[in-house]
Amino acid sequence: MTTAAPPGRWEGAGVTLDEVLARLADLRCPPDGGPPYNRTGVLTLLAHATGAGEAAALDGVIHDLADHQPSRSVLVVEEDAGRGIDAAVSLACRDAEGGQSVAMELVRLTLRGPARAGLASAVVPLLRVDLPTVLWWPRAPEDGHPALEALAGLADRMVTEAGRCARPADGLRALAPLAARGRPAATDLAWAAITPWRQLLAQMIDPPALAALRSASSVAAVAHPEGPATAEALLLAGWLRDVIGAGLMVELHGRPVDDTPLLAVELEGFAAGRRLIVERLPGRSSAAVVVVEPGGASRRRVLPLPRPARAHLIAGELELQRRDRPFERALPHAVALAGGAGA
Amino acid sequence: MSTIAPPEPAIDLGSRLVRTPQPVAIVIFGATGDLTHRKLMPGLYSLAAQQLLPPEAAIVGVARSELDDEGFRERMREGVRRHGHAPVDEDVWAGFARRLHYLPGGFDDSGVYERLRALLADLDADRGTRGNRLFYLATAPEFFPVIAERLGGAGLAEETDGGERFARLVIEKPFGEDLRSARALNTRLGQVFRERQVYRIDHYLGKETVQNLLVLRFGNAIFEPVWNRRYVDHVQITVAEDLGVGTRGGYYDQSGALRDIVQNHMLQVLSIVAMEPPARFESREVRDEKVKVLRAIPCFDDGSVAGDAVRGQYGAGWIAGEPVPGYRDEPGVDPASNTETFVAMRLAIDNWRWSGTPFYLRTGKRLPRRATEVAIQFKPAPHLPFTSTAVEAVQPNLLTLRIQPDEGASLRFLAKVPGPQIDLRVVSMDFAYGSSFLRPSPEAYERLLLDALLGDSTLFARWDEVERAWEIIDPLIAAWATTPGPFPNYEAGTWGPAAAEELIAREGREWRRL
């Protein structure tokens, strides 16, 4: 997919939503008077930023996302200073499969001072009717946060980043009651990030192995970088506990390596004395997978283990429109393990 | 007809994880050929990159060229680099390449199969392929029975009934060249492989838009009530190519459009368009419904050969502003060839749903543009309560399902032209894959390879479907083989011979202008 030249951009301070919508409509009409650009008809992505710095970072990710999904992205920025609404609207055209040019819209709304109280009312007119709305809350959720409450009420799905706090376990703890509510369906980017790990482990655990893991005294050791357990490590451990059962003993431990939030997983007990070790190769998109047989013989293979970028992870989230039941089951286990591990 | 359901994964995969096949050794016969280079190896590599090949999978290439494992890996890497849809990742390639092995030898040499058996036993022991085999015959069709029999002779076609160990055979078209030869081929394969082990690839069924036909029909409540003779006037299925025969002249001249496109791709698409809703989207249910449609199509006879089918062969002409030679001047083609490069036909489906609603099929090479689509032409509204000037240009509703290029669907309906008068104009409501899903569809071969590895035969043609398709057109093949066609009878860059227009015009209809 290639990028065509952006057809336009508009911004204004102290604007009304009617103006924003009118400018969007203007931008959709090409300067040569031809028919309006086709718009993608997929979903609205809502993202929330707490200041200009975070907004700039999200802006970059959303720009990278445009190849993947959203029809319209609405980035809501809350600023204490000033009053009223500032807006920046841009339209990017992409050449999709089949040579069609399709337009994606990005609206950045900055709500200043008292205008923040009307956050939901400012966003509603910008949601594409009859398309799903996905909220990206790029940090750990906080119970009772007014903007989170307001935006979650508009969304069909919510993607948090619970690991973006000093103690990721606290982030997961805060997310658990929201996820249990089910509306909007909640998920977390750390969960998305461990999808390749789960895919790899699911391949290695066939029905006899799973039966053995469930019946024996099995142990899972999950390694993360030194410091508090990462959300990725906790969620993977929680998933294993959910899949294998309460009898699984889980050990979380830090290593003096800071490559990715999840470094290695070792499973013991899926056949008498047999061990499976999956270890990410530093700096690479692959893992060494070692199966150690009871007699000590081992077989080592190097298998793909992608390291998706943040934009790629968000893009993956936008393709899912259902509740993610394995996540909803794994999360309470992760929270319980965080308590037990003192993470 | 027995089927064995593929084993369920041990772990609830949820919506994110994808089911992966059991450990397996994939053996590709014809491993240095074009199909392997362009489609199979890029497809397998892509599956590996997406973590969809089982960690224990091994791939063995068999062909006549004298190569070693390293030489084979280098060739395959070039194929993946040139024809894959993403750049080669060094890490992924390194792991993938280690799974590639090569065995030189002739397909009719029984010594090759002894060596293959020994190699597969080694792979079972070293890589953990667990005795599972997928044999892919990417060879010329005359080798299909030979390879199958040699595999049987070497004891490589055996599998356990409980599905603990499988041996599957994937076959490319053409599956026979007429009814007799297809039956003979099937009999020979059947002496070694059971039907449930045979996967007949029709890559059209791997296309997203063909599968979307099933979703459109059976996932939406609004289409099915009008999907019948009461509301549908007729259906047109078009497979138009602007290309000539290229380097395939030798093969094509023995085959022709009827065998190359109609007998397989078009009748498969037709059966999906016309089938009854299956109870479940599972192999047996879907294929049972498809074959019922084919059985409801009368076979050609003397009358319908003369009246309901038209053949054509292109002469020199112009495509996209460039002069192109006629078919008989193409490399590898007999200068006096009687092979058709164009077919148009009218088929009836004699069942309650479709009785009286004709299906028109049209395919050809060197047509003005490349387009594959299904058009459902609805009947006109029974009465229009508008003045005659308002309805001059009224056209009935049309649902178009575009298979390639520009995949999508559009529905044509009437709208009022803005203004003080009631003027009607046709407008189109359009769904385009490209503007609704901004990610490319997977390659058909990649999807079908994964299905074959998983043991899901839903998107493969079953023998009774193939046999019935041959039964339908066999009389036409025989008639055309014994009478010289009026060739060349259409200019390259036109929509086929005039007789094709007459075929559809006879009933007051016309082909869609694409």
Quick check: B434 and A98 CB within 8 A? yes
Distance CA B243, CA B253 (A): 15
**pLDDT confidence band for B354 (50 / 70 / 90):** very high
Query: Nearest Cβ partner of B14 from A97, A200, A325?
Result: A325
- Mean pLDDT is lowest, of A45-59, B223-237, B329-343, B379-393, for B379-393
Distance (Å) of CA A35 to CA A97, B367, B428: 20, 30, 14
Residue of chain B whose alpha carbon sits nearest to that of A192: B16
Q: How many CB atoms lie within 10 A of CB A339?
A: 11
Amino acid in position B292: K
Q: How many CB atoms lie within 10 A of CB B122?
A: 14
pLDDT score of B164 more than 80: no
Distance CA B492, CA B272 (A): 31
**pLDDT confidence band for B364 (50 / 70 / 90):** very high
> Which of B293, B296, B299, B295 is CA-nearest to residue B273?
B293
Q: What is the mean pLDDT of residues A289-316?
A: 87
How many angstroms separate the CA of residue B241 from the nearest CA in chain A? 16
Q: How many helices (H) and strands (E) does chain A have?
A: 11, 16
- Burial status of residue B432 (CB atoms within 10 A of its CB: 0-12, 13-18, 19 or more): buried
Determine the pLDDT at residue B24: 94
Quick check: A69 and B7 CB within 8 A? no
What are residue A107's phi and psi, to 5 degrees? Answer: -120, 125
Q: Between B345 and A37, where is the model more confident?
A: B345
pLDDT score of A3 more than 60: no
- Asked if B97 and B56 touch (Cβ cutoff 8 Å), the reply is no
Rounded to the nearest 5 degrees, what angle is found at the Cα of A230, between the Cα atoms of A229 and A234? Answer: 75
pLDDT score of A2 more than 60: no
Which percentage of chain B shows pLDDT scores above 70?
95
| Helical pair A231-244 and A168-181, crossing angle rounded to 10 deg | 50
Quick check: B405 and A98 CB within 8 A? yes
> Which of A160, A170, A158, A282 is CA-nearest to residue A234?
A170
CB contacts of A206 in chain B (<8 Å) are: 10, 22
Determine the pLDDT at residue A7: 62
Quick check: B432 and A100 CB within 8 A? yes
pLDDT score of A342 more than 60: no
Distance (Å) of CA B36 to CA B136, B143, B148, B486: 10, 16, 19, 38
Residue of chain A whose alpha carbon sits nearest to that of B441: A97
Quick check: A322 and B7 CB within 8 A? no
| B373-407 residues labelled b (16+ CB within 10 A) or e (exposed) | bbbbbbeeeeeeeeeeebbeeeeebbbbbbbbebb
Distance CA A87, CA B486 (A): 69
**pLDDT confidence band for B2 (50 / 70 / 90):** very low
Determine the pLDDT at residue B105: 94
Determine the pLDDT at residue A5: 43
How many angstroms separate the CA of residue A116 from the nearest CA in chain B? 33
- Asked if B352 and B314 touch (Cβ cutoff 8 Å), the reply is no
Determine the pLDDT at residue A55: 93
Amino acid in position A2: T
Quick check: A203 and B54 CB within 8 A? yes
Alpha-carbon dihedral of residues B299, B300, B302, B306, nearest 10 degrees? 160
Which percentage of chain B shows pLDDT scores above 90?
69
Quick check: A326 and B12 CB within 8 A? yes
Which percentage of chain A shows pLDDT scores above 70?
92
Q: How many helices (H) and strands (E) does chain B have?
A: 16, 18
CB contacts of A289 in chain B (<8 Å) are: 55
Mark out chain B residues that contact chain A at CB-CB < 8 A.
Answer: 7-18, 20, 22, 48-51, 54-55, 89, 91-92, 94-95, 98, 128, 405-408, 432-441
Query: Nearest Cβ partner of A102 from B15, B95, B434?
Result: B434
- Please give the radius of gyration of chain A, using alpha carbons only, rounded to the nearest integer: 23
What are residue A177's phi and psi, to 5 degrees? Answer: -65, -35
- 3-state SS string for B174-227: CCCCCHHHHHHHHHHHHCCCCHHHEEECCHHHHCHHHHHHHHHHHHCCCCHHHC
Alpha-carbon dihedral of residues B452, B453, B456, B457, nearest 10 degrees? 20
Q: What is the phi-psi region of residue B46: left when phi exceeds 0, alpha when psi lies from -120 to 50, beta otherwise?
A: alpha
CB contacts of B98 in chain A (<8 Å) are: 302
Distance CA B82, CA B468 (A): 38
Distance CA B78, CA B92 (A): 15
Interface test with A, best of B435, B441, B454 (most A CBs within 10 A): B435
Residue of chain B whose alpha carbon sits nearest to that of A210: B10
- Asked if A162 and A331 touch (Cβ cutoff 8 Å), the reply is no
Q: What residues of B are labeled active site?
A: 265
Residue of chain A whose alpha carbon sits nearest to that of B127: A299
CB contacts of B95 in chain A (<8 Å) are: 286, 301-304
Distance CA B289, CA A91 (A): 47
Strands (E), B204-292: 232-240
Residue of chain B whose alpha carbon sits nearest to that of A96: B434
Q: How many CB atoms lie within 10 A of CB B163?
A: 15
Query: Nearest Cβ partner of B92 from A192, A196, A304?
Result: A304
pLDDT score of B135 more than 50: yes
Q: How many CB atoms lie within 10 A of CB A208?
A: 11
| B287-319 residues labelled b (16+ CB within 10 A) or e (exposed) | bbbbbbbbbbbeebeeebbeebbbbbbbbbbeb
Distance CA B256, CA B243 (A): 14
- Burial status of residue B357 (CB atoms within 10 A of its CB: 0-12, 13-18, 19 or more): buried
Q: Which long-range contacts (CB under 8 A, 24 or more apart) does A286-291 make?
A: A286/B91, A286/B92, A286/B95, A287/A200, A289/A200, A289/A204, A289/B55, A291/A204
pLDDT score of A341 more than 70: no
Q: How many CB atoms lie within 10 A of CB A145?
A: 15
Taking the whole predicted model, whether its pTM rises above 0.90 is answered as: no
pLDDT score of B288 more than 90: yes
CB contacts of A287 in chain B (<8 Å) are: none
- Mean pLDDT is lowest, of A1-15, B56-70, B231-245, B461-475, for A1-15
Determine the pLDDT at residue B449: 95
pLDDT score of B434 more than 80: no
CB contacts of B94 in chain A (<8 Å) are: 302
Quick check: A196 and B437 CB within 8 A? no
B3-50 per-position pLDDT tens digit: 444 456 677 777 778 888 889 999 999 999 999 999 999 999 999 998
- Would you state the structure tokens that stand for residue B386, as one six-digit string? 């508008």
Residue spans per domain, chain A: 2-188, 193-341
**pLDDT confidence band for A77 (50 / 70 / 90):** very high
Distance (Å) of CA B101 to CA B24, B73, B119, B347: 14, 8, 9, 47
- Asked if A151 and A173 touch (Cβ cutoff 8 Å), the reply is no
Query: Nearest Cβ partner of A207 from B10, B91, B435?
Result: B10
Q: What is the mean pLDDT of residues B103-126?
A: 94
Peptide bond into B385 cis (omega under 30): no
**Polymer length in residues for chain A:** 343
Quick check: A204 and B436 CB within 8 A? no
- Mean pLDDT is lowest, of A91-105, A168-182, B275-289, B324-338, for A91-105
A240-267 per-position pLDDT tens digit: 999 999 889 999 999 998 788 889 999 9
pLDDT score of B97 more than 70: yes
Query: Which residues, other chains included, contact B280 with Cβ-Cβ below 8 Å and sequence gap of 6+?
Result: none
- Asked if A155 and A134 touch (Cβ cutoff 8 Å), the reply is yes
- Asked if B27 and B136 touch (Cβ cutoff 8 Å), the reply is yes
pLDDT score of B160 more than 80: no
Rounded to the nearest 5 degrees, what angle is found at the Cα of B279, between the Cα atoms of B278 and B282? Answer: 75
CB contacts of B91 in chain A (<8 Å) are: 281, 284-286, 302, 304
Q: What number of C-beta contacts closer than 8 Å exist between A and B?
A: 123
How many angstroms separate the CA of residue B430 from the nearest CA in chain A? 10
**Polymer length in residues for chain B:** 514
Q: What is the mean pLDDT of chain B?
A: 90
Q: How many CB atoms lie within 10 A of CB A69?
A: 23
> Which of B49, B133, B64, B65 is CA-nearest to residue B452?
B133
Quick check: A202 and B440 CB within 8 A? no
**pLDDT confidence band for B162 (50 / 70 / 90):** low
How many angstroms separate the CA of residue B363 from the nearest CA in chain A? 21
How many angstroms separate the CA of residue A148 from the nearest CA in chain B? 25
Distance CA B418, CA B415 (A): 9
- Burial status of residue A297 (CB atoms within 10 A of its CB: 0-12, 13-18, 19 or more): exposed
Q: What is the phi-psi region of residue B7: left when phi exceeds 0, alpha when psi lies from -120 to 50, beta otherwise?
A: beta
- Would you state the structure tokens that stand for residue B227, as one six-digit string? 């999907």
Quick check: B95 and A286 CB within 8 A? yes
Peptide bond into A31 cis (omega under 30): no
- Asked if A340 and A229 touch (Cβ cutoff 8 Å), the reply is no
pLDDT score of B1 more than 80: no
CB contacts of B9 in chain A (<8 Å) are: 202
Q: What is the mean pLDDT of residues B479-506?
A: 95
Determine the pLDDT at residue B373: 94
**pLDDT confidence band for A340 (50 / 70 / 90):** low
Interface test with B, best of A65, A203, A323 (most B CBs within 10 A): A203
pLDDT score of B486 more than 90: yes
Which fold would CATH assign to domain A193-341? Answer: Dihydrodipicolinate Reductase; domain 2 (3.30.360)
Interface test with B, best of A42, A67, A97, A213 (most B CBs within 10 A): A97
DSSP of A256-318:
S--SSS--EEEEE-SSTT-EEEEEEPTTSSEEEEEEE-TTS-EEEEEEE-----HHHHHHHHH
pLDDT score of A52 more than 70: yes
Determine the pLDDT at residue A251: 94
pLDDT score of B165 more than 80: yes
Quick check: A306 and B7 CB within 8 A? no
pLDDT score of B433 more than 80: no
pLDDT score of A66 more than 70: no
Token match 């394995």: residue? A326
Q: Between B52 and B436, where is the model more confident?
A: B52
